[in-house]
Structure 1
Amino acid sequence: MAAFKDHGVIVIDDDEFHWKVRHWVGGPVAGGGCGGLSVTVSTDPGKRRELIVEFPYVEFGQGKPKSEIGFANRLQGCIEAAIADGYRPNSRGRPWIWEAEPV
């Protein structure tokens, strides 16, 4: 089995979202415990507003996602939810942080 790639591209409505793993396991979070996998997403990295998707620790633990396709589908759902909540991928400004709900 090939190693899990730490970057990729997801296409949503003719926009290419380039994603890259920021870190596999994070530091402490509110309420105790520690953060999980964190991914940065942008339509034009370094030039357009960055989306930071923070997954809960319980979803992947200290390991990597088991399926690249499953992870891509999960990340796509998070991007779409962030857009519905107000994230504008082709704007500029501070990073938009999206905390994914546990599945």
Structure 2
Amino acid sequence: MKKLVALLTLLAVLTACGGGGGDRPSSDDIAKALKDDGNSASALATGAGDEAIDCIAEALHDSDLSDDALQALVDGDDSFEGSKDDEKAITDIADDIGKCLTS
């Protein structure tokens, strides 16, 4: 159940509507965003420890998510609209994120 909630939260964050730009954020930047209670992306890591959050950040960084999608996550940009490729990338790493949360 945690895995499904995490996936749905990430999909909501990355497929709202709007835009972003810039270089690919580092896994450290992604982890900081996931730990920041003021960032909507932190809902993905609710109750997770630092090791799980670092694992999620690595999975996101190493995924096929666009640089813009990851930057929107780091920036807490709830208005970002991810592409169909971003949606597929999230689906492709759902198991990896789930493993991070259950390890």
**TM-score bracket relative to the smaller structure:** 0.3 to 0.5
- Choose 1 or 2 for highest CA Rg: 1
Higher strand share: 1
